């Protein structure tokens, strides 16, 4: 099975807040990206379908893509959901269970910005229209930096709150800030999560760790060519070139070192 891009979005808005540009994709750019996926034959699948295929269940479409949104920003849902629905695509929204209907308090503390988050009614509507809601903790902490009892509580309680509020199973998690370690991973499994998305960059290959899935970030400055490169390779063109150039330079340097020696 080929590597599957698990796309990671945060905000979709035409008014990126200062300091949050990287995490904000313009609505027009988002729509163009989704139209390109559809034209290129990509089929959006759920994380459940991905896990099932990897466990020997039904194979994924030839070109599968998983679309994820972290944080549950109201404007991201407002812009993205209609585009996805019109194209028959699905997505996972990872929600901060303790801040439903509120604002992104963690961003206020870290960046001095505050964005509205969707409420329970909107989350239930998303589920009713075929989208999937996953957990993104209770309060958006760096889980790997919390004491053991607190991280377990964040994980267990976020799942319970979301299952209660949505009236359906919540099996998937995204670690806030991608912060996890071996213990957090075990705590996620103990809390009953079947998968957890990390922010390790790359396509999700057949042996990817279900509790630390690789993702492909889509960032605010990306043109369509960057987006296509990310979907195909996991990285933007500039990053790929940098890595190639660095590799070539290292090879050259060791040749020179050998000559000099
Ligand atoms: Zn987050």
Those residues whose beta carbon sits under 5 angstroms from the ion ligand 1 are 70-71, 176
In whole angstroms, what is the distance from residue 256 CA to residue 250 CA? 10
List, as one string, the DSSP characters of 155-179: HHHHHHHHHHHHTS---EEE-GGG-
Give kind and range of the element (H or E) at residue 110.
Answer: helix 105-111
**Cα 253 to middle of ligand 1, angstroms:** 40
**Cα 136 to middle of ligand 1, angstroms:** 7
**Cα 62 to middle of ligand 1, angstroms:** 30
**Cα 111 to middle of ligand 1, angstroms:** 13
**Cα 9 to middle of ligand 1, angstroms:** 10
**Cα 190 to middle of ligand 1, angstroms:** 21
**Cα 96 to middle of ligand 1, angstroms:** 8
pLDDT at 1 over 60: no
Neighbours of 62 (CB within 10 A): 9
Q: What is the mean pLDDT of residues 119-132?
A: 98
In whole angstroms, what is the distance from residue 201 CA to residue 216 CA? 6
Q: Quote the mean pLDDT of the chain.
A: 95
In whole angstroms, what is the distance from residue 27 CA to residue 40 CA? 20
**Cα 176 to middle of ligand 1, angstroms:** 5
pLDDT band at residue 261 under the 50/70/90 scheme: low
The whole-number pLDDT of residue 236 equals 82
Look at the alpha carbons of 173, 177, 178, 181 in this order and tell me if their dihedral is positive or negative.
negative
- Express each pLDDT in 205-241 by its tens digit: 999 999 999 999 999 989 999 999 999 999 887 777 8
- Express each pLDDT in 41-100 by its tens digit: 999 999 999 999 999 999 999 999 999 999 999 999 999 999 999 999 999 999 999 999
């Amino acid at each position: 099975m080929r590597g599957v891009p698990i796309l990671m979005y945060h905000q979709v808005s035409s008014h990126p807040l200062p300091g949050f540009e990287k995490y904000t994709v313009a609505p027009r750019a988002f729509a163009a990206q989704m139209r390109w996926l559809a034209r290129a034959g990509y089929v959006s699948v759920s994380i459940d379908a991905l896990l099932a295929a990897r466990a020997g269940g039904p194979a994924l479409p030839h070109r599968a893509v998983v679309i994820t949104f972290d944080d549950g920003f109201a404007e991201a849902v407002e812009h993205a959901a209609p585009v996805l629905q019109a194209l028959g695509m699905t997505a996972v929204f990872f929600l901060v269970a303790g801040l439903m209907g509120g604002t992104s308090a963690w961003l206020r503390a870290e960046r001095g910005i505050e964005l509205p988050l969707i409420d329970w009614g909107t989350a239930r509507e998303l589920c009713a229209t075929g989208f999937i809601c996953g957990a993104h903790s209770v309060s958006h902490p760096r889980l790997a930096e919390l004491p053991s009892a607190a991280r377990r509580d964040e994980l267990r309680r976020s799942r319970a709150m979301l299952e209660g509020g949505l009236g359906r199973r919540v099996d998937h998690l995204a670690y806030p800030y991608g912060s996890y370690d071996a213990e957090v991973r075990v705590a996620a499994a103990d809390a009953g999560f079947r998968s957890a998305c990390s922010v390790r960059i790359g396509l999700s290959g057949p042996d990817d760790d279900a509790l630390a899935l690789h993702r492909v970030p889509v960032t605010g400055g990306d043109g369509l060519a960057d987006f296509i490169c990310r979907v195909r390779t996991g990285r933007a063109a500039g990053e790929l070139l940098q890595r190639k150039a660095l590799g070539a330079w290292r090879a050259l340097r060791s040749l020179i070192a050998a000559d000099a020696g």
